[in-house]
Amino acid sequence: MTPEYSVDNSGSKPVLKIGRAALAAGIIGREVSVHTVYKLKRLIASGGMGTVCEAEQFGSDGFIKNVAIKLLLPELTKNQEFVSMFMGEAKLAACLVHQNIVQIYQLGKSDESYFIAMEYIDGIDLEQFISRHAASGRKIPPELAVYITSRICRGLEYAHNRRDENGERLDIVHRDISPRNIMITSEGEVKIADFGVAKARRKAAARMRDNIMVGKIPYMSPEQATYEPTDPRSDIFSLGVVFYELLTGVSIFDKPTEEQSISEITSGVRRDPRSYRSELPQSIAEIVLCCLELNAAARFQTAGELGYVLENHMYSKGYGPTIITLAQYMAKLYPDRKFYVAPSRGDNLSVSVLRS
């Protein structure tokens, strides 16, 4: 092993050489201060809590990284209770690093407005994906609906099980699993956005009595709709609503009034998805209906369990959908956009393996 310090006496004067480890030890604890500048390039959309823009983050020597910035609504940031709750939840969400979750890079304040800098998703959200199909009278292939849902499960499973450095559960629940908060990237990855922020929003909404703030009622679990405490099984219910919509094109709890939506959610009566799409396999209908059970104890108990059941459905008989399948499908669905399609599939590989 290289010693940390050595003296080189070969020259006219002795030279002290410091090993890398010693150098590193000297810098631990030192603060590296940077003033980050973001330039907002393009408005992406406005949602329940603010505005999302594509932006550039500048570093030294011409470094530029594309990010997304969500600027919180000014009226929200005037509400101190909301801000502290929002910051608390967003700080937890910032520790989530997973391939199926949109990563948060920074929480900041510029002038009086708070913002979140996050991974920029070059892609589309599930609401756009579903409406694209509706507009062309197409149905989403059931296997892809299963694949997308299974990826969301893996992101949820990771977040639900996060613990702090002392091993204590962080009890992270998304609370706003809905098509606009799920994105498909240009590489065919599926990512959940806006982890944790719904809790703060809901609190603020209750106080401000502002309907725009209440969130997406048709995707709420019965316990959310009745202001009961929520746990990860609430996210499984909301995911069930999204899964149902991917399979049938129907948002089952989207009714003319909020009261009607809530009454449907809490009634416990669920229509078999095969009444909208008869070719769906019974096993899939059973899985989605299990997610939508009124009583949380009757649903899949964890996102991991649901993910396993879906993956088992896709892969138990052999090769099933992958990130490449989804990217190829997206490329066909959006010929005007750049969806990455791998230059070759496994066919070439299997031929060469067989020949060798």
Which listed option, Mg ion, ligand ATP, none, makes contact with residue 238 (CB within 5 to 8 Å by class)? none
Distance of CA 166 to the CA centre of its chain: 25
Q: Which of 8, 111, 125, 176 is catalytic?
A: 176
Cβ-contact 239, 291 below 8 angstroms: yes
CB of 279 to ligand ATP, least distance (A): 30
Q: How far apart are CA 178 and CA 273, in angstroms?
A: 18
Alpha carbon distance 270, 33 (integer Å): 55
Where along the sequence are the contacts to ligand ATP (CB under 6 A)?
44-45, 47-50, 52, 68, 70, 102, 118-121, 125, 176, 180-181, 193-194, 215
CA torsion 83-89-94-98 (nearest 10°) is -150
Q: Which does 121 bind (CB under 5 to 8 A by kind): ligand ATP, Mg ion, none?
A: ligand ATP
Decide if residue 181 touches Mg ion (CB under 5 A).
Answer: yes
Q: Which does 44 bind (CB under 5 to 8 A by kind): Mg ion, ligand ATP, none?
A: ligand ATP
Q: Which is nearer to ligand ATP, 86 or 147 (CB)?
A: 86
Distance CA 139, CA 133 (A): 6
Binding mask 147-176 for Mg ion (x = CB under 5 A): ------------------------------
- Residue 336 annotated to the active site: no
Among 220, 217, 242, 216, residue whose Cα is nearest residue 294: 220
Give min distance, CB of 333 to ligand ATP, in A. 16
* Residue 74 Cβ vs ligand ATP, minimum distance, rounded to whole Å: 15
Sheet strand arrangement including 190-192 = 123-125, 182-185, 190-192
Q: Is 164 exposed, middle or buried (0-12, 13-18, 19+ CB in 10 A)?
A: exposed
Among 125, 194, 223, 293, binds Mg ion (CB under 5 A): 194
| Residue whose C-alpha is closest to residue 190's, from 232, 228, 239 | 239
Single-letter residue type at 330: M
Smallest distance, Å, CB 121 to ligand ATP?
A: 4
Q: Which residue is nearest to ligand ATP (CB)?
A: 47
120 binds, among ligand ATP, Mg ion, none (CB under 5 to 8 A by kind): ligand ATP
The catalytic residue positions are 176
